Structure 1
């Protein structure tokens, strides 16, 4: 599959700064070879999550406040950027960090989350979900559903909650949105997926034009991760029960924003998901960022493209909130009935 014809034309953000070129070069010649080596090892190696502990030392976006939140099976945090009020009638974001379901955590992503909070003018529940190799992805999803329930218990309605995540967190963002709707809790405001992993079947990525162009992930590392996830599911007796976002019922999903770098191997997933969402009648903005690396938004302190991208996310979240607030009581009832009908049809 050299290129997937999209049902909707992606928005292309042209241009790459010197900083982004240096970042891409550095990753291609440092992290990428290490991931390729990991993929070739004849045995599994899962080092301690040292990167998340070291990230405690990183400075935060000015004025950020946060406090720990204990969900049923994981520790999360309730975060507000400078000037953001906590008001259950306005809106909130449920966020899932990336890290291939194997690494990273609250500390590595706190700066990114605080910038998204600032741009969106909404508080964020940053979920420290359980990860492989200790727990399968189904438990990560369960932690996300608990996070959504936590927000609802504090006065946020489903339609006022945007679910967001990067990389593996993008997988969780769509999966949790599907899960809470299947629970009958209502439809979230929207989904934001940054460089998302959305399909554990590596076939589409192996045949994509970006298979060997990605500055971070070699193709063998992507295939190895898929194998690890499958073996984890098999050991827990749940193999075949987990559905990847690209294969979920999508007709009743909320509007989505997907960010992807133009050379990322995960472009295959982003294109496929955007195509299936739009074909199902769901609004989806696919934004392609010229030569940007995987989750470049995390480097907003020194990467100009990252700051523009986060502003795009903030505008999307605020637009969803404004559209919900503009609904009259009668139109809100009609809209919700329409959503319920679509949900019943999907089921």
Structure 2
């Protein structure tokens, strides 16, 4: 059963649905205004400081106390490729940076429909290259993201693999947008439970894809739909999803694809949680538990000074 604190996100999504129902002629600006409210879900991460980054792509850098600057987190926000920002995810990025013990850069990639895919992936790649040019080895970078950002995190790893370039040390994908075709069984079984997307179901997912792709050939691209990818050679993945989500089955299926190739993977399915419940970090225990699990997984593959301190003898 979900904690009392976790009701915050359920109430927020219920409010979104009520306002969307009252605004039948939805404009992109209206949808983006809803995503801005994700910032309300969690709390500030104590001791973390922030700075803005302007080039080559903009964003917010979160630096925790005693950060291990030999490592970095590249954070890719969600929002269906059409909304969200580094600001809506600033608090969560701070919690993640503090738990892992490394600075995190939340990138503001270009949004659709003004900028069609692969503009979003191009910007995430530019942010990755910027971290490398600043002295961080690719294997010391964790690429993390939620929803569309989780799909982009994995897409970046696929792209780097396909180019024969060195990829990140780990990928963290939270409620990732892997089943963008809406083929999974939980699009049926979870339709009554997914507050954010259940009412719109497969039609909603497919309509959203139409907003960001440049042509229909992209709809089945492995860079858009991870379930169509060849996963051989990808880095370790931490996958997390709520069991109420439409995307639940797609996330589990992708995790099983990784496991079949011998790639280290953790598949975390959290009971009674809504889409990107992780944003309630600092407020809901389910989100805090997931952040702790992420940190344990990540520091196994990208060790930081924080892990060394935690493992030091008393």
TM-score (normalised: structure 2): 0.85
- Where does the alignment leave 5 or more consecutive residues of structure 2 unmatched? 305-314
Q: Whole-Å Cα distance in 2 between the matches of residues 59 and 293 of structure 1? A: 18
The residue that corresponds to 1:4 in the other structure is none
Q: 1:199 Cα shift?
A: 2.2
Q: Whole-Å Cα distance in 1 between the matches of residues 137 and 268 of structure 2? A: 28
The residue that corresponds to 1:320 in the other structure is 301
Q: 1:233 Cα shift?
A: 2.8
Residues 237 and 68 (structure 1 numbering): CA distance in 2 closer, same or farther, change over 3 Å? farther
The residue that corresponds to 1:192 in the other structure is 172
The residue that corresponds to 1:68 in the other structure is 52
Task: Identify the match of residue 77 of structure 1 among 60, 71, 74.
Answer: 60
The residue matched to 1:268 in structure 2 has which SS? helix
- Where does the alignment leave 5 or more consecutive residues of structure 1 unmatched? 1-14, 324-347
Q: Whole-Å Cα distance in 1 between the matches of residues 213 and 238 of structure 2? A: 29
Matched, 1:227 2:207: yes
TM-score (normalised: structure 1): 0.78
Residues 51 and 27 (structure 1 numbering): CA distance in 2 closer, same or farther, change over 3 Å? closer
Matched, 1:46 2:46: no
Aligned residues of 1:61 and 1:111 also touching (Cα < 8 A): yes
Q: Whole-Å Cα distance in 1 between the matches of residues 274 and 249 of structure 2? A: 15
Q: 1:212 Cα shift?
A: 2.5
Q: 1:36 Cα shift?
A: 6.4
> Per-residue CA shift, 1:211-269, capped at 9, x if unaligned?
33212212525523422433543469966655421211201111111111111111022
The residue that corresponds to 1:286 in the other structure is 267
The residue that corresponds to 1:182 in the other structure is 162
Aligned residues of 1:99 and 1:168 also touching (Cα < 8 A): yes
Q: Whole-Å Cα distance in 2 between the matches of residues 59 and 286 of structure 1? A: 25
The residue that corresponds to 1:244 in the other structure is 225
Task: Identify the match of residue 301 of structure 1 among 273, 276, 282.
Answer: 282
Superposed CA RMSD in Å reads 2.8
Residues 109 and 18 (structure 1 numbering): CA distance in 2 closer, same or farther, change over 3 Å? same
Q: Whole-Å Cα distance in 2 between the matches of residues 135 and 237 of structure 1? A: 17
Q: Whole-Å Cα distance in 2 between the matches of residues 142 and 56 of structure 1? A: 25
Q: Whole-Å Cα distance in 2 between the matches of residues 249 and 136 of structure 1? A: 24
Number of positions where the alignment pairs a residue of Structure 1 with one of Structure 2: 301
Matched, 1:216 2:196: yes
Q: 1:145 Cα shift?
A: 0.5
Q: Whole-Å Cα distance in 1 between the matches of residues 39 and 276 of structure 2? A: 19
Q: Whole-Å Cα distance in 1 between the matches of residues 264 and 251 of structure 2? A: 14
The residue that corresponds to 1:125 in the other structure is 105
The residue matched to 1:108 in structure 2 has which SS? coil
User: Which is further off, 192-201 or 204-213?
Assistant: 204-213
> Per-residue CA shift, 1:270-314, capped at 9, x if unaligned?
112112111222221101111012111211232111111111111
The residue matched to 1:159 in structure 2 has which SS? helix
